[in-house]
Structure 1
Amino acid sequence: MRRAAGVSGSQLSHYFANKESLVRAVIDWQAESVLGFHRSERFAGFDTIEAYQEWAAFFVVSGRPFENGCSLGSLASEIVKTGLDVRDDLTLT
């Protein structure tokens, strides 16, 4: 993880008390990234069928749903394997 982030262990321990707190921060960041996008002004409401069609067309045309799968689902499947007690964090996102 440190190598992928390009940081030292002391840098990680300065900001995160333990592995669980780091994982929780990753969950929060990823959830906010995904949800923030969907809550943006562009997709602010699905009050008409046209608004829903615009949202669906964006994803089909951009190819986003096919790139790497669901980013939150992928994150959850990897984190569950760690045995950390963060399942509640994953379900609340």
Structure 2
Amino acid sequence: MAWVNLVVAGLLEIIWAIGLKYTEGFTRLWPSIFTVAAMIASFYFLSQALKIIPIGTGYAIWTGIGVAGTTILGIILFSESAALPRLGCIALIVIGIMGLKLTSP
């Protein structure tokens, strides 16, 4: 269950990171409320996962999911660069996440 909590926390991190763009510096009420709620939920699920998963592994995977997902959604939603070197770096992050999962107790 800890790994499920960690994945949920990572997905919520993507949501709040993308949500920051829509808050326009926390000047828009509903996007701001939604973003803060996603932040709180993300931290909650991360804290639950870290009861079992080592902190270094859990934090790295949480941020890795967030970085990779936010970058991919940035490409899709905001027309950010999809240059091959950039995608290659995202692939390296995903490989690192898989490696940490496979080598963790």
State TM-score, norm by structure 1: 0.38
Which structure's CA Rg is the greater one? 1
* RCO comparison, higher one (Cα < 8 Å, 6+): 1
**Structure showing the higher helix proportion among its residues:** 2
